[in-house]
Structure 1
C-alpha cells in the first residue's frame, strides 16, 4: 500500500466521522434528528447567528476535504500499476 493512499484513507475516515457530527449539530428547520439531540431546545432559547455561520463554514471546508480525499483515492485506484 502506498503511503499517500494510506494517508488519504485515514483522512477520509476522520473527515467522515467529523462531517457526520457537524451535520447533526446544525440547527434543524423543524423536526428531524437535530431535535433528538437538543436542537429544539436551542431554537427556543435562540442561537447565535455567528456560531451557525461558523458551523456552516467549517462543515463546507470539511466536506471539500472529504470530497478531495475520495477523488484522490479514486485516481490512485484507477492509475495504480499492479
Structure 2
C-alpha cells in the first residue's frame, strides 16, 4: 500500500465520519441541533438560517471529499499510482 492510498484512506474515514455527524446535525422540522444552537446564540428568526446554510455547505464539502476519495481509490488502490 503506497503513500497515496494511506492518505486517501485517512481522508476517506475522516470525511465519512464528518459527513455522518453533519447530516445528523441538520434539523428535520425545527428540532435539530442547529436550531438549539442557533436559538441559544441568536434570535431564532435570524440565526437558524445562517447556521443551516453553513451546515449545508460543510455537508456538501465533506460529501464531495468522500466521493472523490472513493473514486480515486477505486482507480488506484491495487498499485497506488495513477495509470
TM more than 0.5 = yes
Other structure's SS at 1:48 match: helix
- Normalised by the length of structure 1, the TM-score is 0.74
1:73 matched residue in structure 2: 73
Say how many residue pairs are matched: 71
Give 5+ residue unaligned stretches, structure 1.
none
Give 5+ residue unaligned stretches, structure 2.
none
1:35-62 Cα deviation digits (max 9, x unpaired):
6xxx28x47x546100000000110011
The CA RMSD over aligned residues, in Å, is: 2.3
Q: Displacement, 1:17?
A: 0.6
- Normalised by the length of structure 2, the TM-score is 0.73
